[in-house]
Amino acid sequence: MARLVLKFGGTSVADLDRIRNVARHVKREVDAGHDVAVVVSAMAGKTNELVAWCREASPLHDAREYDAVVASGEQVTAGLLAITLQNMGVNARSWLGWQIPLKTDGSHGAARIAEIDGSEIVRRFGEGQVAVVAGFQGIAPDNRISTLGRGGSDTSAVALAAALKADRCDIYTDVDGVYTTDPRIEPKARRMARISFEEMLEMASLGAKVLQVRSVELAMVHKVRTFVRSSFTDPDAPGMGDFDNPPGTLICDEEDIVEQEVVTGIAYARDEAQISLRRVSDRPGVAAAIFGPLAEAGVNVDMIVQNVSESGAYTDMTFTVPAGDLAKAKDVLDKAKAEMQYEVLQSESGLTKVSVIGVGMRSHTGVAATAFKALADRGINIRAITTSEIKISILIDGDYTELAVRTLHAVYGLDKA
């Protein structure tokens, strides 16, 4: 039999009825003879409530006490699920991050995992015990509770799967897999049976909300086969207990995918903002002078385009930032204008980044040209372009988001089975 880590997000454990449903999923795997560890998030909305309480108590609160407060949501869920499983006759015990221990660095509120000792959980597998682990949390070098940042339960689950040498990490969520694009925009979007780690990482970082980016990075580094599936499907429905081919999407090595599509999916990210610096002095170090202060201010710069004038004396620099960081970015640039040596700053919000993703792009030509022509035929203007080996990202006006997604989804044949 296999060793599994099952992760359930906030919507899956939102109330006691849903926790009972989760317990049925867990019991199904236990009854099949598998060793099972479960990682749970806080109930839906609970973390937001706890964060709001911290801010109301003090806008400038201590990060260590913040972690002590917000980590309590997962503690409640873990205890309730363990009680529910025990009531069903399953030998289960809850674990907090410090009890494993899951050790992190000292960056309270956004800690990174340093080490996990899963030996005691493995020993208890031999006794038939299920470990119900509170996600999102660990213990810092100062022996205080630490948290991994929003979405950290996905990261906890993948890291625990790696430490336990699990055969698979199943991420149960409110969708039944990874789709070729957002089904809310394109009803013809298809659920993929398999997707490579690299493709999933690009999709997660470029707007797909199915998995947290750090969890995909960890899965890729440690080669943790990760399965995305729905917790809202009846646990006893046909195929749910099929270990080799359950309903959902497997995220795995590229070599495990027999027939690779040229383009796998279309992702998008709304609320992008564009900043243009006009007549920047074209000299060595100018890029560092611009982007260094932005990085220090915590502004994430994405697409960058530079145009050189005919004389070579000046350049125009255009780049994108999240719309929420636009005001901060403009303030940084205004204060450092003399050092950056630009004449005019222009900005615009309400833009969208649409991305075409697929490992098959490495060995096929004309993928970008197909996208550009399809958008041009629809009258969609392209503001900026960035590329990598397996993705093309295109910046467009936000009003054309749905049209662009549907157009690209169709032109690469993703709407066909």
129 pLDDT more than 90:
yes
Does the annotation flag 7 for ligand binding?
yes
339 pLDDT more than 90:
no
Among the listed residues 320, 304, 171, the one whose alpha carbon sits nearest the alpha carbon of residue 248: 171
The pLDDT confidence band at residue 341, using thresholds 50, 70 and 90, is confident
Express each pLDDT in 190-221 by its tens digit: 999 999 999 999 988 887 778 888 999 999 99
Does the annotation flag 8 for ligand binding?
yes
- Distance CA(341)–CA(75), nearest Å, equals 52
Main-chain dihedrals φ then ψ at residue 258, nearest 5 degrees:
-65, -50
Q: Does domain 265-411 have CATH number 3.30.2130.10?
A: yes
Express each pLDDT in 322-337 by its tens digit: 999 999 999 999 988 8
Does the annotation flag 51 for ligand binding?
no
Q: Is the pTM of this model over 0.85?
A: yes
User: Distances in Å between the alpha carbon of 70 and those of 100, 143, 197?
Assistant: 19, 17, 30
Q: What is the pLDDT of residue 388?
A: 87
Does the annotation flag 337 for ligand binding?
no
Does the annotation flag 210 for ligand binding?
yes
Burial code (b: 16+ CB inside 10 Å, e: under 16) for 278-313 equals: eebebeeebeebbbebbeeeebebbbebeeeeeeee
Rounded to the nearest 10 degrees, the angle between the axes of helix 213-222 and helix 197-205 is 160
Does the annotation flag 45 for ligand binding?
no
The pLDDT confidence band at residue 283, using thresholds 50, 70 and 90, is confident
17 pLDDT more than 80:
yes
260 pLDDT more than 80:
no
Q: What is the pLDDT of residue 309?
A: 65
Q: What is the pLDDT of residue 8?
A: 97
- Contact between 384 and 286 under an 8 Å Cβ cutoff? The reply is no
Sign of CA pseudo-dihedral 109, 113, 115, 118: positive
Does the annotation flag 117 for ligand binding?
no
| Domain locations in the chain as residue ranges | 3-255, 265-411
417 pLDDT more than 80:
no
Express each pLDDT in 133-192 by its tens digit: 999 999 999 999 999 988 899 999 999 999 999 999 999 998 899 999 999 999 999 999
Query: Which residues, in sequence order, are bridge partners of residue 393?
Result: 355, 386
314 pLDDT more than 90:
no
Average pLDDT over residues 91-96: 98
* Residues near 366 by beta carbon (within 8 Å), at least 6 away in sequence: none
Residues in the chain: 417
Does the annotation flag 10 for ligand binding?
yes
Q: Does domain 3-255 have CATH number 3.40.50.300?
A: no
